[in-house]
Chain A
Amino acid sequence: GESVGLHLPTLSVQEGDNSIINCAYSNSASDYFIWYKQESGKGPQFIIDIRSNMDKRQGQRVTVLLNKTVKHLSLQIAATQPGDSAVYFCAENIGRGTSYGKLTFGQGTILTVHP
């Protein structure tokens, strides 16, 4: 079946460190991936996305890496700040059949940044 999962459910870092959040996916046909950040009491907030024809994409303080060979996705956050503390989800857009436009989410990683 199709699934998107995370290796680490929790991650604690010190302010200023770099953070890496990992995600594994099982559907080799997936071609679009998104990282979302969800703070307590809020909806998921778009961070960055990547298409399968790329292996790296950079945003402001964030980088997403895609390794299609091993079906692995990672989110790197540079100079992590306390405001980055949240749950991070990777999501995959399946986009076929009756599930067209469906996002499949992993279970999430809790990132805690200590001052």
Chain B
Amino acid sequence: ETGVTQSPTHLIKTRGQQVTLRCSSQSGHNTVSWYQQALGQGPQFIFQYYREEENGRGNFPPRFSGLQFPNYSSELNVNALELDDSALYLCASSLQSGRRETQYFGPGTRLLVL
């Protein structure tokens, strides 16, 4: 177990709706990254938060947004859901923000958009 938890485990939404996914980082980790993993693919980096500020972003539109809280829990928000947003959403925590910091993943939230 990595000590990283996510909720909910599964979620079904319809196109156009909004969704909030939650992550609780490993104790003491001040950095959280979010990834989207489509079926049969490797995870794709969405963004990273360090000390409550966005600290890097991948090729995802602004309707993907996030928050990190002082207790290092975090949220991923997706507005105006599209069918292609159906995927496993993973959060990963690391001790620090950096190029060589090991990221520990949670079990993910599987989102289905109908």
Instruction: Tell me the residues in window 50-108 of chain A with beta carbons closer than 8 Å to chain B beta carbons.
Output: 51, 89, 91, 93-96, 98-108
- B73 touches A (CB below 8 Å): no
* A103: chain B residues within 8 A (beta carbon): 33, 35, 43, 45, 92, 103
Residues of B within 8 A of A94 (CB): 99
Chain B residues 6-38 with CB under 8 Å of chain A are 31, 33, 35
A-B pair number, CB within 8 angstroms: 85
B97 touches A100 (CB 8 A): yes
B41 touches A44 (CB 8 A): no
- Contact between chains at B45 and A102 (CB < 8 Å): yes
B58 pairs with A102, CB closer than 8 A: yes
Give chain B's interface residue range (CB within 8 Å of chain A): 20 to 34
* Complex-state Cα separation, A93 to B2, whole angstroms: 20
* A window 19-42: CB within 8 A of B: 31-32, 34, 36, 41-42
Cβ B102 vs Cβ A46 within 8 A: yes
Q: How many residues belonging to A are interface residues under a CB distance threshold of 8 Å?
A: 29
Q: Tell me the minimal C-beta distance from A22 to chain B in angstroms.
A: 15
Q: List residues of chain A with CB under 8 Å of any chain B CB.
A: 31-32, 34, 36, 41-46, 49, 51, 89, 91, 93-96, 98-108
8 smallest beta-carbon distances between A and B, as pairs: A95-B99, A105-B42, A43-B105, A100-B56, A102-B45, A32-B100, A101-B48, A44-B105
23 contacts between A and B (CB under 8 A): A31-B99, A32-B100, A34-B102, A43-B4, A43-B108, A44-B90, A46-B104, A98-B56, A98-B57, A99-B58, A100-B55, A100-B97, A100-B99, A101-B33, A101-B48, A101-B56, A101-B97, A102-B48, A103-B33, A103-B92, A103-B103, A107-B41, A107-B42
